[in-house]
Every structure is written in structure tokens, then in C-alpha cells.
Amino acid sequence: MMPVPAKTELQALMFGNRLTKRLKHLNKWARRVGVEAFRLYDRDIPEIPLVLDYYGSAVSGSLYKRPYQVEDEEERVWLSAMSQTITDVLTIPPERVFLKMRERQRGKAQYGKLAGQRVTLDTREGGLVFRVNLSNYLDTGLFLDARKARAFVKAESAGKRVLNLFCYTGAFSVYAASGGACAVDSVDLSKTYLDWAMLNFSLNGFEAPDLTSCHAMDVGCFLEESRRRRLVWDFIVLDPPSFSNSKKTRGTFDIRRDHRALIHQCLGLLAPGGSLFFSANARGFRLKPAEFHGLSIQDISDILVDEDFQGKKTPSRYLVKPQHSGKDILDRS
């Protein structure tokens, strides 16, 4: 391996100082609010384009593609210096530091499985527990930036029939159940993620089949079938990927192109007085209320940013309610 350049050594030092400072601050907060996993570092220093999530006994991180060309060997040396800093500051053994390369992903690659030994752990937040996989996917199974959004869903769910679309590993669904939902339907294309969602339900003691149902289906087909069967829900969670293409769907899904149709389809399935929680992760995406007539659209993005994501780019989130009576909605569907 080539020797570590002086510039890299200096960056490692700056990185170490930043990690130490963040760890001290966030550890205190995390203990106080009962959170075990948090975002420790998010490209705070632009020349160090890493994102690190701290899981107490392990770290899951990504190296973002640089806007300029770097030789493989140079990048390897650089990454090894930063990994060393992570293990030193966090006192975590190197085999518990999982760093992945993240490029702008379109579709399938983002949710594909990575090779290697399977390393999982259970992490707590909001009095609940979730299984995360640190080794085999780009994402661990729990999006930490949605923590407060999950708490919001919990607070909205009491006594309601809740539908969670694009449910992934079911974190929103588990929160809905813990908030006292009377029924929780979870929909995702992936059987693997639905099995994971069921595991998360059982880790939290929600195993009753009359409370939770998982549907391995394309969301578009599920919504269409539900409309035909005149099914309704009181609260719908719509947190889709920015883009998706799968062999199991008819075409591609693109949030910028498809969000209006999707939102209207969901509104057609709301019971009188029902509401929709909509979240979008696409860079710079904002709902334009002027494009939606007869709806109350509340931008709740800012109130759902937790301590570890303050000042960072976070998803835009909305609470959407029909302004006219529930009867009108049922008549239209």
C-alpha cells in the first residue's frame, strides 16, 4: 500500500475531532430520549464525504462518490485512514465498522443484497426494538432520519385502521400498532422485507393476525384492488422510494412524475375524517399545494427533524386531508 499522504493524515485528525465532539453531544441526547442508534456524521467536513450511523457496538457508513476522479489505491489508503479513526474514536473493532460505496442509485441496485457474512443487531428507539442488518444491504432496515416521523405516525394511529404503503421492514407499521391502531396493513413488493417486517412485529409482541396483515404486492395493484373492493382506511402512510423499477411491476415508479396520481388514489381509500401522511426523499422535492384542489396540505417536514439530523437535508413530509366531507370521497371512489 502507498504511504499515507500528509493531507490524508490531517483530514483523519479533523475527522477524529469532529467525531469526538458529535459523539459526546449525541450520546447525552440519545440516552436521555432512549435512542440507541443515531446519525453520527453526515459529510460535516466536505472533503470527508462519509455518512456514519452509530449503533452502539457497530457503525454502518457510506462513502459518497466524489465529484472528481480518485485512483483506486489512493481511495483505499484514504478509506483505511478514516476507518482507523472511526475505530479509535468509537472504540469499536474494525470488523464492526461497515462502510459501503454509495453512488446515486436508480431502482433495483439500491435494495439489492450485498455479499458477505450476515451481521445483525437489535436496536431500540421510542420504547420499541428493530432488527437491523449491517452487512448485506446498502441500508440497514431502519432509516434513522424517519425516527420522528415514526413517532408522528404512532401519535396519529390510536383506534385507527392504518395502511402502510412501501412498508419496507415495517417500522412505521410497528409504531402504528404500538400507538393503538386497531388494524395495520403493510404493503411491499419484496417478500424478504415483509418477512423482516413480521420479525419486527414479533420482536415487539405484535403477533395477532387480526391486528397486522402483510401484502406482498405492487402498491399500484394493491390500491386498484382495494378501490374495487371498496376497502377504506382511517390513516394511510405513503413513504415511497424516489425511483423504483422491478420485474414485478408493470412500469417504473418515479416520485416526481407519479406522486399526484398516487396521492389521489390513496385519498380515494380514506374513510370519512381520514388523513394521509406523505413523505418524499427526492432531493429538493416539494409538494405544490396549488396542484391539489379541495385538500388541506400541511407541511410538517421541519417538526419531524430529530437532534442528530438538525441542519441536514431531510425528507419533505406532509399531512394531507380532504377538505370536503368524507361522504364526497366515498361517492367519488
Ligand X SMILES: C[S@@+](CC[C@H](N)C(=O)[O-])C[C@H]1O[C@@H](n2cnc3c(N)ncnc32)[C@H](O)[C@@H]1O
Contact between 193 and ligand X per CB under 6 A: yes
Cα–Cα distance, 182 to 309 (Å, whole number): 32
When the beta carbons of 66 and 260 are compared against ligand X, the nearer one is: 260
Binding mask 251-290 for ligand X (x = CB under 6 A): --x-------------------------------------
When the beta carbons of 96 and 215 are compared against ligand X, the nearer one is: 215
Q: Where are the alpha helices (DSSP H) in the chain?
A: 6-33, 72-90, 108-111, 147-156, 171-178, 191-203, 219-228, 255-267, 326-332
Locate 254 and state its grid cell.
418515479
Single residue of 38, 41, 166, 201 touching ligand X by CB under 6 A: 166
Considering only the stretches 11-19, 70-78, 166-174, 304-312, report the one whose residues sit in contact with ligand X under the rule CB under 6 A: 166-174
Which residues is 129 bridged to in the sheet? 124
Contact between 111 and ligand X per CB under 6 A: yes
Q: How far is the CB of 333 from ligand X (least distance, A)?
A: 20
CB 58 within 8 A of CB 95: no
Cα–Cα distance, 224 to 296 (Å, whole number): 24
Contact between 42 and ligand X per CB under 6 A: no
When the beta carbons of 92 and 258 are compared against ligand X, the nearer one is: 258
Angle at 96 between CA 128 and CA 138, to 5 degrees: 70
CA trace torsion 191, 196, 200, 202 (10° rounding): 70
When the beta carbons of 35 and 146 are compared against ligand X, the nearer one is: 146
Single residue of 30, 50, 97, 171 touching ligand X by CB under 6 A: 171
Single residue of 156, 185, 188, 234 touching ligand X by CB under 6 A: 188
Residues 6+ apart with CB under 8 A from 273: 234, 326
User: Residue 272 corresponds to which amino acid?
Assistant: P
Contact between 309 and ligand X per CB under 6 A: no
When the beta carbons of 30 and 189 are compared against ligand X, the nearer one is: 189
Binding residues for ligand X, total number by CB under 6 A: 21
Single residue of 78, 130, 143, 235 touching ligand X by CB under 6 A: 143
CB 81 within 8 A of CB 4: yes
User: Residue 64 corresponds to which amino acid?
Assistant: Y
Please give the residue ranges that form the binding site for ligand X (CB under 6 A).
111, 143, 146, 166-168, 171-172, 187-190, 193, 218-219, 239, 241, 244, 246, 249, 253
